[in-house]
Structure 1
Amino acid sequence: MPPFNRIDTKNEIKNHYHNFLPDYKFELAESDLQIYQVGHKFNNCLGGYVDEAMEQRVFILFLRNKVTEEIEYAMEVSPNKVLYQAEGKYKLKLIIVSLVSIVLVVLIL
């Protein structure tokens, strides 16, 4: 396992992604280790985006269920707030992608 490295994300970026869905919390990935662990849990290619996330060429956002506290979905978002993809465990597509896209568009305004 690679060494643990924190992703240095500015607070104003972190604050963009809170409280948009009533049942979920938006969280930016905090470290390379967290991205690897969630990718392993989801059995998908999320770990392949670690270098881009560390260089902030993409942001990895997690949707954490407020009741279970489990991360249920991961999203790849560009610095320009374009949603590239959103998947859950075993590449389960995020059903609320259109709603998330709307939220991200609103953030741009």
Structure 2
Amino acid sequence: MADDPSTIAWRLQRLEEAVRDLGLRVVSVELYTRDRAEVERDLVELRAAIADEKQARKDDVKDIRAQADKQAERQSGNWRQALFGGVIPGLVVLLSVAVQIVLATRGGK
């Protein structure tokens, strides 16, 4: 008679099984609060680690930019290097070409 779905005894038995199953699934308040506190502590630590990593990356980028600027300054030289290394030799070459053209057109006379 307890197996008949229409009886109150069967329904009561089903309810008792459901409550028993829920009892197995329920987590105690102490365990829940302890786990939640641990998760929150981990999140705080992760946020702090991420903030530290972001700051470290910003510092690294600043250092790399400073090194690149120093290297660019060393490679670019100054105006005297440009004058003696590029402009004057270029003018000498142009002048020698112009003299050769003039001498070639006049026939060396």
TM-score computed with the length of structure 1 as normaliser? 0.17
* Structure with higher RCO (Cα < 8 A, 6+ apart): 1
Structure whose residues are more often strand by fraction: 1
TM-score computed with the length of structure 2 as normaliser? 0.17
